[in-house]
């Protein structure tokens, strides 16, 4: 699927996650955040940058790992990205929806 | 022993649960007793049929149905060591026992499974533990819950999953479905409100199965609360609270606590943050030590932690271990195949069959186009299959016998992929 975000045509999946991380930039991230009613602050971007680093290192993301990362604790993570923080933050970060092992 | 000690080598299997026992049986058949000693270490003396933990609380199975001596399933020619392992030294290739003895190995198989860790969630092990807060992933927990359910007068039943991954990820859903049946049979369904609480976005992680299971939840009047990441259990108010502040009251909480690998792996520096061993998902070789293999729930591979997975893995791992011993390359063959019966209550079940790349879909199993079992469709035949499975488990599976028509690699024929 394609979607126009921040005046750019982007490849996304049916849930709106970017499928090509190279298309991501901060404007794209801001626009996705806006759709989720999240006003991005410097603190938000710090967390996003951390998620992107982990993604590039192929470290699977989980709420638990983020809580122990030293970057942000789980409580604050929820305050920054309410409801389903990992999913919302991953979408803003332009990385795939985290898979929970089943 | 009369063997030449210079050529005699040792395979050490840690854990005589489903995975370890199957592996002992497979390997003893393929390796000569003159060249290979096989030892298996297990702390417990009773082998539990763990799928039975689901049925114990509802008085469907008795404790006797699901417990047999470990030694009954260990083949001749394999030494069963009933002891506790203090530590593994994967560099020096030995395990240290409780009394300090060192057991050297040439090849190590880790099959120590996964355990619940309720201590990971603040308040879970509080004063309400086994009063109104229960698990059913341990024999003791399932039994205590059975006794509670026998006398419970009704109220808010909350079935809860703490975090993924968990062993047998469909079990908590099955628990909710069976609760619905159980209370109907006791003519008190109207006195019980059932809520299913999950950290996932829906009933299951795979889309097609989620749709089918969501439909069943609606039909049985079970409310679902998704994306719930628990922060703590409030014992005074009998609520669970998530990081976002969502609060859910309960009269009876049946929770699946965080699952972790054995502490041994933390003590040995071999596990990840949940004590699961980093493992190559297609070969089952540990990522850090070539002569260490990991089978069943103990590994971090991205498939279900379930007996069916261990069964399929054991067939492929046996070949790989023989290749490894012969100095040949390992086959990259394990595809994450899992096959689970899902009890849906009222004498019915559905069946799901999937792997790393293919989600569960509708179709027939095990014979394409014939069945007799139906995938992702609820019926009585599937339920009979699940009950018959206990016999298969004790009499065929643990002994490492191949189940006719069911291949280790998932079959794509007879399935309705898009």
Report pLDDT digits (tens) over B149-169. Answer: 999 999 999 999 999 999 999
**Cβ-nearest to B304 among A68, A77, A102:** A102
What pLDDT, on a 0 to 100 scale, did the predictor assign at position A79? 92
Average pLDDT of chain A, as a whole number = 90
Q: How many CB pairs under 8 A join A and B?
A: 50
Got the DSSP string for A26-83?
HHHHHHHHHHTT----HHHHHHHHHHHHHHHTTPPP-HHHHHTSSS--HHHHHHHS-S
Token pair listed for B351: 């069946």
Domain ranges of chain A: 2-93
Residue B158 CB contacts under 8 Å (≥ 6 apart), including other chains: B195, B197, B240, B248, B250, B252, B253, B254
Pairwise CA distance, residues B148 & B130, whole Å: 9
Q: Which residue in the set A82, A83, A101 is minimally distant from B164, CB to CB?
A: A101
The verdict on whether A101 is a catalytic residue reads yes
Burial degree of B203 (CB within 10 A; 0-12, 13-18, 19+):
buried
**HSE of B376, CA atoms in CB hemisphere, 13 A:** 22
Task: Please list every residue in chain B whose beta carbon sits closer than 8 Å to the beta carbon of residue A84.
Answer: 201, 227
Give me the long-range contacts of B179-185 (CB less than 8 A, separation at least 24). Answer: B179/B58, B180/B220, B180/B221, B180/B222, B180/B345, B181/B58, B181/B345, B181/B346, B182/B58, B182/B149, B183/B154, B184/B346
Determine the pLDDT at residue A100. 59
For residue B339, pLDDT over 50 is answered with: yes
Per CB-CB distance under 8 Å, the chain B contacts of A87 are 201, 227
* Three-state DSSP class for residue B178: helix
Model confidence pLDDT, tens digit, residues B11-68: 999 999 999 999 999 999 999 999 999 999 999 999 999 999 999 999 999 999 999 9
CB contact under 8 Å between B229 and A68, yes or no, is no
Q: What's the pLDDT score for residue B6?
A: 62
In this prediction, residues B1-10 reach a mean pLDDT of 66
Mean pLDDT is lowest, of A38-47, B158-167, B246-255, B404-413, for: B404-413
Q: Which domains does chain B have, with CATH numbers?
A: 9-49+68-113+262-325 (3.50.50.60), 116-259 (3.50.50.60), 338-397 (no CATH)
Q: How confident is the model at residue B119 (pLDDT cuts 50, 70, 90)?
A: very high
Q: CB–CB of A101 and B273 under 8 A? A: no
A62/B163 touch (CB, cutoff 8 Å), yes or no = yes
B37, B30 in Cβ contact below 8 A?
no
Please judge whether A74 and B199 are an interchain contact, meaning their C-beta atoms are less than 8 angstroms apart.
no
The predicted pLDDT at position B5 comes to 53
B279 Cβ neighbours under 8 A, 6+ residues apart: B285, B286, B287, B294, B299, B300, B301
Mean pLDDT of A78-85: 90
Q: Which of B244, B245, B279 to mutate to test the interface with A (most CBs of A within 10 A)?
A: B244
Is A78 in Cβ contact with B164 (below 8 Å)?
Answer: no
CB–CB of B265/B278 below 8 Å? no
- Looking at chain A, the whole-number percentage of residues with pLDDT higher than 70 is 96
Work out the pLDDT band at B1, boundaries 50, 70, 90: very low
Chain A residues close to B197, C-beta within 8 Å: none
- B227 and A87 within 8 Å at the Cβ level: the answer is yes
Alpha-carbon distance of B250 to B230, in angstroms, equals 14
- Helix axes B307-325 and B18-30, enclosed angle (nearest 10): 30
Residues of A near B (Cβ–Cβ under 8 Å) read 60, 62-65, 68, 74-75, 77-78, 82-85, 87, 99-102
Cβ contact B229–A63 (<8 Å): yes
Beta-bridge partner residues of B223: B195
- Percent of chain B's residues with pLDDT above 70: 99
**pLDDT computed for residue A14 by the predictor:** 85
Beta strands in B58-98 (DSSP E): 67-69, 78-82, 85-89, 94-97
Of the candidates A42, A83, A99, A101, the residue annotated as catalytic is: A101
Torsion sign across C-alpha atoms B188, B190, B191, B196 = positive
Q: Are B159 and B197 in contact (CB under 8 A)?
A: yes
In Å, how far is A79's CA from the nearest CA of chain B?
A: 7
């Amino acid at each position: 699927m394609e979607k126009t975000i921040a005046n750019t045509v982007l490849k996304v999946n049916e849930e709106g996650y970017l499928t090509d991380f190279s298309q991501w930039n901060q404007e794209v991230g801001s626009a996705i955040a806006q759709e989720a009613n999240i006003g991005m602050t410097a603190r938000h971007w710090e967390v996003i940058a951390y998620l992107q680093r982990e993604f590039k290192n192929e470290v699977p993301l989980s709420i638990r790992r983020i809580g122990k990362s030293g970057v942000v604790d789980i409580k604050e993570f929820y305050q920054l990205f309410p409801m389903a923080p990992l999913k919302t933050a991953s979408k803003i970060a332009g990385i795939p929806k985290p898979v929970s092992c089943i | 022993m009369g063997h030449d000690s210079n050529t005699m080598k040792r395979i050490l299997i840690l854990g005589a649960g489903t995975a370890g026992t199957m592996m002992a049986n497979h390997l003893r058949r393929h390796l000569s007793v003159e060249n290979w000693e096989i030892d298996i270490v297990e702390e417990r003396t009773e082998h539990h049929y763990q799928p039975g933990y689901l049925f114990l609380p509802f008085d469907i199975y008795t404790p006797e149905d699901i417990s047999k001596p470990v030694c009954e399933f260990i083949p001749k020619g394999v030494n069963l060591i009933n002891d506790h392992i203090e530590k593994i030294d994967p560099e020096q290739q030995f395990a240290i026992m409780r009394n300090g003895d060192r057991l050297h190995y040439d090849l190590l198989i880790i099959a120590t499974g996964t355990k619940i860790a309720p201590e990971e969630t603040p308040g879970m092990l509080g004063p309400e533990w086994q009063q109104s807060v229960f698990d059913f992933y341990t024999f003791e927990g399932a039994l205590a819950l059975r006794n509670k359910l026998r006398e419970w007068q009704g109220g808010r039943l909350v079935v809860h999953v703490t975090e993924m991954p968990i062993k047998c990820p469909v079990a908590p859903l099955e628990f909710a479905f069976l609760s619905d049946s159980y209370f109907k049979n006791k003519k008190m369904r109207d006195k019980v409100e059932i809520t299913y609480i999950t950290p996932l976005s829906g009933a299951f992680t795979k889309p097609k199965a989620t749709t089918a299971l969501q439909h069943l939840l609606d039909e049985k009047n079970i409310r679902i609360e998704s994306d719930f990441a628990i922060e703590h259990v409030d014992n005074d108010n009998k609520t669970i609270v998530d990081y976002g502040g969502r609060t859910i009251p309960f009269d009876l909480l049946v929770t699946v606590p965080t699952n972790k690998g054995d502490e041994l792996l933390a003590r040995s520096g071999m596990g990840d943050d949940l004590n699961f061993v980093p493992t190559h998902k297609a070969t089952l070789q540990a990522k850090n030590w070539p002569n260490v293999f990991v089978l069943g729930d103990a590994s971090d591979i991205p498939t279900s932690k379930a007996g069916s997975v261990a069964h399929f893995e054991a067939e492929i791992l046996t070949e790989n271990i023989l290749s490894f011993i012969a100095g040949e390359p390992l086959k990259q063959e394990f595809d994450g195949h899992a096959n689970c019966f899902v009890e849906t209550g009222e004498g019915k079940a559905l069946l799901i069959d999937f792997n790393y790349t293919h989600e569960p879909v509708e179709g027939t199993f095990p014979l394409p186009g014939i069945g007799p079992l139906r995938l992702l469709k609820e019926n009585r035949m599937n339920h009979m299959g699940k009950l018959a499975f206990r016999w298969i488990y004790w009499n065929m599976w643990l002994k490492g016998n191949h189940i006719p028509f069911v291949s280790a690699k998932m079959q794509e024929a007879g399935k309705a992929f898009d």
